[in-house]
Amino acid sequence: MDIFLKKFETKYNTAPFCKIKLSDYKPAFEQTIQIARKEIDRIVSNQEHPSFTNTIEALDFAGEALDRLSSLFFNLNAAETSDEMQKIAQEVTPLLTTFQNDIALNEALFERVKAVYDQKEQLHLTTEQATLLDKKYKGFARNGALLAEDQKNKLRAIDTELAQLSLTFGENVLAETNNYQLHITNEADLKGLPEGAKEMAANLAQSKNLEGWLFTLDFPSYIPFVTYVENRELRKEISIAYGKKAFQNNAYNNEAIVKKIVALRHERAHLLGYETHAHFVLEERMAQNPNQVFTFLNDLLTKAKPAAEREFTQLTNFAKSLDGIEQLEKWDGAYYSEKLKQELYQLDDEALKPYFKLENVLQGAFTVAHQLFGLTFNEIQDIDKYHPDVQTYEVLNEQRELVAVFYADFFPRKGKRNGAWMTSFKPQYIKDNINERPHVSIVCNFTPPTPTKPSLLTFNEVTTLFHEFGHALHGMLANTTYPSLSGTSVYWDFVELPSQIMENWCYEPEALALFAKHYETNEIIPQQLVDKIKESASFLEGMATLRQLSFGILDMEYHGKNQAIENVKAFELEAMKVASLYPDVAENCMSVSFSHIFQGGYSSGYYSYKWAEVLDADAFAYFQEKGIFNQEVAASFKNNILSQGGTDHPMTLYKKFRGQAPQPEALLKRAGLL
């Protein structure tokens, strides 16, 4: 337990995963919370007049041991959890919520912060210091510091309940994902499925002592099944199973939780003087308010919908001509899209996979980062891992100084939630003249290797790797003084710019030549395949855009309007109908497993994926204009965006990099929607 109370005696102060027992966590949380409380008490009881240094700066560095412990524990709870760990999470979450509320509602502490804030014009602060001061003051004001005592108590109760509900929501989705399996014993039922996916399914069945093939709702198992298996009834079965996670009449149903979370978020916003939860959230975003977001989404909807409807008609006609399908259903989408893509571009994802061996793609991301930002990645074996699959690297700059420690965790397993994300085990900051370097991790669920083949990625998995690696670069290249402004600690609708811009290199021949090599022959991907990848980049882009917009609209309907939700399914149908193409599936409901907004931090923020696409298309247009490895543009991106974290307003940082505000035309042009 004492392990968390001092610097880890390890290389680069990395987490000693092997030495930490599950039984250590709860006592460690109790102890580090006590230490953090004492640090706060020292700030409050300081007899000196409140200053930026003794109040604002001291507050940002308070709770260092607790923050380190929290990042370790909750990262593992997402990537390598167990029933015991989830039980601990349920126990420590209320402790953390209470502690955070005690800080947010500490009147004496707020008085000191306010005293500094009220004299900010006379303090001659740097931009970063001024941003930190503003953030700390608003952090109190936006979390109830100005409320009466009875309202503060109400806020505490709401926050505690919301934290628990969010945790339970995620646990239910994970349980439902783990509880389903499709067991197939007749090989004829798998007609159309690529050999690699079939072999993976056979290995999974074997690991469970079953004959035949086993499929789950984990993406590397689920996606190939619905994309390639000719048996429409089986595609329907697994597709419906995927769509009804946490929407069944069992202990894991999330409908009541969704209604409760939405109601509590609005109640919390009203308590703080905001019209809706979205008004509260968007005050701290580039988009500023719900009207701006609705306008942005509807504007894109108007431009994308005609293209999406044309594409849907084209796909429907294609399915009809091929197999006599009269009505395209959700379980047909991926299957016929893949078939149509093969016909139009003679581009088969399976034909591409041999060129995208995971190790080569990862090395490609490293090489792109080296050419753009001068980084070198050396794999190291002398630091602890939390699972044998994890790969560990030291990241060095051109002067051979440590920039970051990088963890990569690529394959699905039982204790890992679905999807892909970037996170950090330790932030970057400068303290006592030491620039503490970050420990950054990316976690994915890619197609694992089999006894006969290495891990070969679909092109979608390639772009996912580059996307998460972009977030990682934002964390790794951070160079700020204060931990709360470092790396990805930026406005939520700005955080996707570094990740989404990196995906662009996956389509450039100059970049593909660095890593797209056949895993058996080492032959570089043929130019005609590269041309087809580029050509097909905007394939069914109208439908893809509409799908993303539908999620953003649903999020805003939940959080940007005050309305009672009687029936989650009916509410969802009504909200998304403006962007729907496929017929509804009665057994399915998306909201109850919409982890981004009910478990992650995307509530009132799902629109930011499209918002960031506008930024990334405009930013990459600048790279294309000057050269995709242009040193001047790369240096400007690194110095004005990647290293700056949240030290200044995102639009200010963007204009410093680009010399102008972002132009939406770049996105519409790239998506073929103009």
* Token pair for 7: 């610097």
CA distance 340 to 319: 9
Q: Is 290 helix (H, G, I), strand (E, B) or coil?
A: helix
**What is the tally of helices (H) and strands (E) in the chain?**
27, 9
What sign results for the dihedral spanned by CA atoms 347, 363, 506, 444? Answer: positive
What φ, ψ does residue 105 adopt, rounded to 5°? -110, 15
485 and 128 Cβ atoms separated by less than 8 Å: yes
- Does 468 participate in catalysis according to the annotation? yes
Concatenating the DSSP letter of every residue in 501-544 gives: HHHGGGG-HHHHHHH-B-TTT-PBPPHHHHHHHHHGGGTTHHHH
Calculate the CA 420 to chain-centre distance.
Answer: 7
Neighbour-count burial of 586, counting CB atoms closer than 10 A to its CB (0-12 exposed, 13-18 middle, 19+ buried)? exposed
Nearest to 227 by CA among 338, 118, 78, 389: 338
Residue 100 · residue 170 · CB < 8 Å: no
Name all contacts of 130-139 with Cβ < 8 Å and 24+ positions apart: 131/485, 131/646, 131/647, 131/648, 132/56, 132/57, 132/60, 132/482, 132/484, 132/485, 133/52, 133/56, 135/484, 135/485, 135/646, 136/56, 136/59, 136/60, 137/113, 138/284, 139/104
Give residue for tokens 């999470």.
89
Answer whether 273's CB lies under 8 Å from 151's CB.
Answer: no
User: Could you give the 3-state DSSP secondary structure of residue 402?
Assistant: strand
In the DSSP assignment, the letter for residue 49 is P
> Coil, strand, or helix at residue 184?
strand
Tell how strand 402-409 and strand 439-443 pair up: parallel
Task: Give the whole-angstrom CA distance, residue 62 versus residue 65.
Answer: 9
Looking only at the bridges linking them, the beta strands covering 391-396 and 434-436 are unpaired
| Token code pair at residue 138 | 């608003």
Closest CA to 638 of 269, 256, 430, 372: 372
The total of other beta-carbon atoms located within 10 Å of residue 538's CB is 16
Residue 90: count of CB within 10 angstroms of its CB? 14
The vertex-427 CA angle with 285 and 119, nearest 5°, equals 55
Spatial contact of 569 and 589, defined as CB atoms under 8 Å apart? yes
Burial class (CB in 10 A: 0-12, 13-18, 19+), 321: exposed
Contact between residue 356 and residue 456 where contact means Cβ atoms under 8 Å apart: yes
**Gap between the Cα atoms of 563 and 192, Å rounded:** 46
Q: What's the CA gap between 617 and 654, in Å, rounded?
A: 13
HSE-up (13 A, CA, CB side) for residue 135 = 23
Question: Listing from the earlier edge strand, what are the strands of the sheet with 391-396?
Answer: 376-379, 391-396, 402-409, 439-443, 421-426
Buried b (16+ CB within 10 A) or exposed e, 186-221: eeebbeebbebbbbbbbebbeeeeeeebbbbbbbbb
Catalytic residue among 338, 468, 503, 572: 468
Can you read off the two tokens belonging to residue 529?
């395949």
Q: Which residues, in sequence order, are CB contacts of 544 under 8 Å at separation 6+? A: none
Q: Distance (Å, rounded) from C-alpha 558 to C-alpha 607?
A: 13
For the annotated catalytic residues, the residue numbers are 468
